[in-house]
Amino acid sequence: MKITRIKTIVTCPDRNFVTVKVETDEGLYGIGDATLNGRELAVVAYLDEHVAPCLIGMDAGRIEDIWQYLYRGCYWRRGAVTMTAIAAIDTALWDIKAKAANMPLYQLLGGKSRDGVMVYGHANGVDIEETVDEVAKYMDLGYLAIRAQTGIPGLPTTYGVSEDKMYYEPADASLPSTALWSTSKYMHHIPQLFDRLRNTFGFDVHLLHDVHHRLTPIEAGRVGKALEPYDLFWLEDAVPAENQAAFRTVRQHTTTPLAIGEVFNSIWDCKELIEEGLIDYIRATVVHAGGVSHLKKIFDFAAMHHVRSGSHGATDLSPVCMGAALHLDTAIYNFGIQEYMRHTEKTDDVFPHSYYFSKGYLHPGDVPGHGVDIDEDIAAKYPYQRAFLPVNRLADGSMFNW
């Protein structure tokens, strides 16, 4: 089966998504997510100019060989743009292979290891009271695991707190808006949130929290220790991890489970973290970590070191990424949890999908392939709109991590 055409489709049904469609001479096609939040058109140019022309005429069934061709063959390895482009092609080729086999993708990845994929939703409020109400809403919806974020007194806006509670959208402006950050205000406030949540809801619900790369290792150790009585499922992205060894300090000071990985592109971003047992959950995902092929390798490596999966699933990862991720989540042995932020109705119209939520679990469905398609006519109604994540500054005006 030969690759005859590779199309990149950009659409903005409430937010931007980039989708790759790989067509073959046998009429089968596959799709892959290529969305890199705030850098969407860089990936489009990479795919259109530097990937698509090279793959025309190649055998669509040679997934591993095409992956290595794009990774090793281009000389410039890794990086978010490259690995997102590779991920999109890889996901589309797995979609084609599973369709050709007339099987849902999880069958080709080893078959089902579980009956459903436990997900966590996002509860957030401007203050602790509002976050408590939001957690209650998620429990009523049947969620078994809930991430809780709250506004911090003295900071006008805070990461993770959104106006629209149903559909969280982190890229909020056509140029980056500026937020104010204070580590001391945050560190003082966050244990109060979890104290209140556990007193209200007890210990049966899983609670998670995202620090969004805002602390130093020793600060993260202190926050982790302060949160130990509240038994978090995980503390996410406590410290930026360009320097993986920094996590040794965090680990020495707290037993709160640690998760990281949404900005990682390859095994080389997390090899020491996994090998040295410095984390509990690896949160890399299909679209930004080289597709189904490479993420499966990361997860299998993690399994050897008692590290479980926890894939990123924010709204800026398209339903195509979610579909593919759910097949991997279903098949691997060491699955932990999957993030699930609902997409808007417009987005769901553009991307018809077989996955569905029931009682705290997502299910990939049983249609051949990864079960997600794109309606190109509806997609064409929503042209690209430039959008950025905010940036963060400290009170003295200096730049900080977003």
Query: Which residues are designated catalytic?
Result: 159, 212
Burial per residue of 316-334, b for 16 or more beta-carbon CB atoms within 10 angstroms, e otherwise: bbbbbbbbbbbbbbbbbeb
Q: Which stretch binds ligand GCO (CB under 6 A): 4-12, 200-208, 253-261, 312-320?
A: 312-320
Which residue from 23, 210, 219, 373 is in contact with ligand GCO, where contact means CB under 6 A?
210
Verify binding: residue 314, ligand GCO, rule CB under 6 A. Answer: yes
Verify binding: residue 212, ligand GCO, rule CB under 6 A. Answer: yes
What residues between 48 and 107 interact with ligand GCO by CB under 6 A? none
Q: Which is nearer to ligand GCO, 170 or 336 (CB)?
A: 170
**80 and 24 in contact (C-beta within 8 Å)?**
no
Cα Dmax for the chain: 62
Q: How many CB atoms lie within 10 A of CB 20?
A: 30
Q: Which is nearer to Mg ion, 61 or 390 (CB)?
A: 390
Q: Which stretch binds ligand GCO (CB under 6 A): 42-50, 53-61, 82-90, 310-318?
A: 310-318
Verify binding: residue 391, ligand GCO, rule CB under 6 A. Answer: no
Verify binding: residue 254, ligand GCO, rule CB under 6 A. Answer: no
Among all residues, whose Cβ is closest to Mg ion? 210
Verify binding: residue 280, ligand GCO, rule CB under 6 A. Answer: no
**208 and 234 in contact (C-beta within 8 Å)?**
yes
Q: Which is nearer to ligand GCO, 23 or 316 (CB)?
A: 316
Q: What is the rounded distance in angstroms from the CA atom of residue 126 to the CA atom of residue 156?
A: 9
Q: What is the rounded distance in angstroms from the CA atom of residue 220 to the CA atom of residue 66?
A: 40
Binding site for Mg ion (CB under 5 A): 210
Q: Residue 314's binding partner, choosing from ligand GCO, Mg ion, none, with beta-carbon cut-off 5 to 8 A by kind?
A: ligand GCO
**295 and 76 in contact (C-beta within 8 Å)?**
no
Verify binding: residue 108, ligand GCO, rule CB under 6 A. Answer: no
Q: Which stretch binds ligand GCO (CB under 6 A): 6-14, 220-228, 266-274, 311-319?
A: 311-319
Q: Residue 339's binding partner, choosing from ligand GCO, Mg ion, none, with beta-carbon cut-off 5 to 8 A by kind?
A: ligand GCO
Q: What is the rounded distance in angstroms from the CA atom of residue 186 to the CA atom of residue 211?
A: 9
Verify binding: residue 40, ligand GCO, rule CB under 6 A. Answer: no
Q: How many CB atoms lie within 10 A of CB 163?
A: 9
Q: Smallest distance, Å, CB 332 to ligand GCO?
A: 20
Q: Smallest distance, Å, CB 186 to ligand GCO?
A: 15
Q: What is the rounded distance in angstroms from the CA atom of residue 231 to the CA atom of residue 118?
A: 18
Q: Residue 170's binding partner, choosing from Mg ion, ligand GCO, none, with beta-carbon cut-off 5 to 8 A by kind?
A: ligand GCO
End-to-end CA distance of the chain: give it in Å, rounded.
44
* Residue among 302, 298, 262 nearest 278 (CA): 302
Q: Smallest distance, Å, CB 2 to ligand GCO?
A: 35
The strand order across the sheet containing 17-24 reads 3-11, 17-24, 29-33
Verify binding: residue 170, ligand GCO, rule CB under 6 A. Answer: yes
Verify binding: residue 262, ligand GCO, rule CB under 6 A. Answer: yes
Verify binding: residue 37, ligand GCO, rule CB under 6 A. Answer: yes
Ramachandran bin of 206, using left for φ above 0, alpha for ψ from -120 to 50, beta for the remaining angles:
beta
* Residue 158: exposure state from Cβ atoms within 10 A (0-12, 13-18, ≥19): buried
Residues forming the site for ligand GCO (CB under 6 A): 37, 170, 210, 212, 262, 312, 314, 316, 339, 389
